[in-house]
């Protein structure tokens, strides 16, 4: 069955005021969750810094007995997933739209520290849709949301939860603090869930923090900052000769910038961690899981170091599933979702930065000193709007054109084509040593698709 409310990779994410994020509807959704395994001893609730977050949490909580509720306030998605370890038989709702703008929000649902499976999402949808209000006055909904949002301008994080998370991270990394190292970090939290929480965790590791994002207003999350715009962080790290971390709105992504102003995306960070773990004899399965959007140069570099690389199409959930299947513990996406499964089954930007800083401490190095000696291949993406999602092999002349391009590449590039999971769009990705030629090939393939499918 096709999902109608939950997305393919990352829970629910919609514009506030659309189903199921109209006032009252999150309660119906939470009741549907109760019918499908979430009638548990403790249910945790967290949120990022969007104005709509507080009332959505209150709506969700209304479906549960007060004694069963733990309100964690503003904290990163991975922090609530990790804190679940403290409760037997717990579930969690994280209210966030991750890297989306402040006009959107969403709900991620967890059990046993990981996102719920597709079959549970479908069961929750089925019961929600059965009880969802059918006649809705959209203007009245807008007015109610405006009123509710006006009451939601506090974004404090819980100091005890910071302490709890920091201790778990210290235990996992095998080092209690960075005391005496003089470590400093530049932090851009995207004015999101990590604004106070992640800073507080670093400070509990005796790491000095230079923060560059503005204070959250409820309306500025991800706005020209954070993991979506790491160039601002890179400019600052070069200026201050420091390492920096850019998070997204719910702080599960990790994008780094080094002392020379170079941006380390998820691919680069996975390479660093893979080489370190292999050197220590701790790279499980001698391999990593990446996605099809990882740069070909990254794959070739890892394979040249004797490290196996497996790929999934997209999504950290798919990365996690393949890691478990193959016995790997490390994987990630170029966008900054990085999984280290001895810590969590999902990605955690704050922990990954601590992991990297621990490596730097051990090696007495700057981040810039560990930049791996390879250059990304030029990569272009050409999106094409389509009227139907015909199987790619049935588009006249298209498979033959791809084969001809790949033959000309002679192993120095690749073509990757897929349809969007949410839009009537095909995405054509070309990587090759020469950007101009890659662009020409991309446009050539796009012209065939437009002729056949527009």
Neighbours of 327 (CB within 10 A): 10
Distance, CA of 2 to chain centre: 23
Active-site position among 98, 191, 294, 320: 98
Distance, in Å, from the CA atom of 358 to the CA atom of 352, rounded to the nearest integer, reads: 10
Q: Which residues make beta-bridge pairs with 337?
A: 253
DSSP 104-156: EEEEEEEETTEEPPHHHHHHHHHHHHHHS-S---HHHHHHHHHHHHHT----P
Cβ proximity of 55 and 107 under 8 Å? no
Distance, in Å, from the CA atom of 277 to the CA atom of 330, rounded to the nearest integer, reads: 9
Backbone φ, ψ for residue 188 (5° rounding) = -120, 100
**Preceding peptide of 129 cis, ω within 30°:** no
Cβ proximity of 378 and 433 under 8 Å? yes
CB under 8 A, 24+ apart: contacts of 423-426: 424/385, 424/386, 424/387, 424/388, 424/389, 425/383, 425/384, 425/385, 425/386, 426/383, 426/384, 426/386, 426/389, 426/453
Cβ proximity of 291 and 299 under 8 Å? no
Distance, CA of 66 to chain centre: 31
User: Encoding tokens for residue 382?
Assistant: 């050409």
Give the HSE-up count for residue 224: Cα atoms under 13 Å, Cβ half-sphere: 1
Active site residue 294: no
Distance, in Å, from the CA atom of 157 to the CA atom of 437, rounded to the nearest integer, reads: 50
Distance, in Å, from the CA atom of 242 to the CA atom of 306, rounded to the nearest integer, reads: 31
Catalytic residues: 98
């Amino acid at each position: 069955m096709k999902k109608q409310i939950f997305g393919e990779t990352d829970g629910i994410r919609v514009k506030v005021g659309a189903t199921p994020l109209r006032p009252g509807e999150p309660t119906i959704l939470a009741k549907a969750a109760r019918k499908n395994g979430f009638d548990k001893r403790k249910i945790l609730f967290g949120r990022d810094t969007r104005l709509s977050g507080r009332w959505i949490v209150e709506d969700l909580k209304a479906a549960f007995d007060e004694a069963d509720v733990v309100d964690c306030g503003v904290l990163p998605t991975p922090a609530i997933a990790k804190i679940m370890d403290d409760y037997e038989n717990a579930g969690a709702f994280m209210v966030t739209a991750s890297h989306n703008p402040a006009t959107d929000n969403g709900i991620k649902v967890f059990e046993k520290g990981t996102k719920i499976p597709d079959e549970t999402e479908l069961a929750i949808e089925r019961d929600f849709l059965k009880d969802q209000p059918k006649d809705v006055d959209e203007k009245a909904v807008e007015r109610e949301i405006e009123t509710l949002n006006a009451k939601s301008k506090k974004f404090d994080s819980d100091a005890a939860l910071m302490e709890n998370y920091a201790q778990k991270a210290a235990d996992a990394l095998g080092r209690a603090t960075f005391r005496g190292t003089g470590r400093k970090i530049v932090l851009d939290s995207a004015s999101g869930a990590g604004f106070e929480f992640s800073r507080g965790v670093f400070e509990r590791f005796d790491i000095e923090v230079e923060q560059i994002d503005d204070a959250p207003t409820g309306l500025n999350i991800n706005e020209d900052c954070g993991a979506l715009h790491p160039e601002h962080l890179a400019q600052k790290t070069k200026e201050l000769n420091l390492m920096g971390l850019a998070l997204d709105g719910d702080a599960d992504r990790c994008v780094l910038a080094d002392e020379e102003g170079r941006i380390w995306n998820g691919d680069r960070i996975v390479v660093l961690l893979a080489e370190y773990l292999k050197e220590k004899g701790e790279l499980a399965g001698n391999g990593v899981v990446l996605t099809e959007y990882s740069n070909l140069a990254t794959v070739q570099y890892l394979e040249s170091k004797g490290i196996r690389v497996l790929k999934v199409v997209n999504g950290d959930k798919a990365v996690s599933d393949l890691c478990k299947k193959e016995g790997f513990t490390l994987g990630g996406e170029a966008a900054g979702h990085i999984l280290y499964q001895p810590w969590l089954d999902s990605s955690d930007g704050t922990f990954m930065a601590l992991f990297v800083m621990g490596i730097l401490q051990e090696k007495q190095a700057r981040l810039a000193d560990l930049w791996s000696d390879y250059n990304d291949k030029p990569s272009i993406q050409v999106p094409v709007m389509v009227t139907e999602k015909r199987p790619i092999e049935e588009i006249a002349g298209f498979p033959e054109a791809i084969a001809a391009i790949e033959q000309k590449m002679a192993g120095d590039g690749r073509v990757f084509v897929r349809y969007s999971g949410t839009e009537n769009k095909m995405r054509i990705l070309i990587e090759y040593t020469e950007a101009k030629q890659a662009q020409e090939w991309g446009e050539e393939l796009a012209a065939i698709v437009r002729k056949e499918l527009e």
